[in-house]
Amino acid sequence: MIFDHRTYTCRPGTIKKHMKLYADHGWKTQSFHLGAPVLYGAVETGDVNSYVHVWCYESAQDRAEKRAALAADPEWQAYLKISADAGFLVAQVNTILTPASFFTLPGAA
């Protein structure tokens, strides 16, 4: 199992606009291909212009296959264009994590 931890930073004052844009145009398609995220949330303290989402995959291969299918989806490509045109995002940091030996994802067998 691996986790894909992503932090995105928006221009000040635009995070609510970006989250609405994503809710309206990206969420359905992304969650269709990747499944439900472990977490998707806005930062409340610290860098309040950022948000984080964490996706869980069986393996690096599983991640690569799901992300390739997402990238090929015309609805996702349309969302990426809308997002780029809006210009709300200024930074992105992706980190791949592996769980500690004692950790079990809640709800997992």
CATH number of the structural domain spanning residue 9: 3.30.70.100
Model confidence at 109: pLDDT above 80: no
Q: Is residue 86 part of a domain?
A: yes
Q: Which residues pair with 3 in a beta bridge?
A: 56, 97
Which 3 state secondary structure label does DSSP give 26?
coil
Half-sphere exposure in the Cβ direction for 58 (13 Å, CA): 5
Per-residue pLDDT, 107: 73
Give the pLDDT mean for 50-60: 96
Q: Which of 66, 74, 79, 78 is nearest to 26 (CA)?
A: 79
Judge whether 82 lies within some domain. Answer: yes
With the C-alpha atoms ordered 76, 52, 11, 28, is the resulting torsion angle positive or negative? Answer: positive
In a domain, 12, yes or no: yes
104: in domain = no
The Cα 4–Cα 65 span in angstroms is 14
Classify residue 46 by its DSSP letter.
Answer: S
Q: Provide the residue range defining the domain that includes 52.
A: 2-97
Task: With respect to residue 92, please indicate whether it lies within any of the assigned structural domains.
Answer: yes
Q: What mean pLDDT comes out for the span 81-87? A: 97
Is residue 16 situated within a structural domain?
A: yes
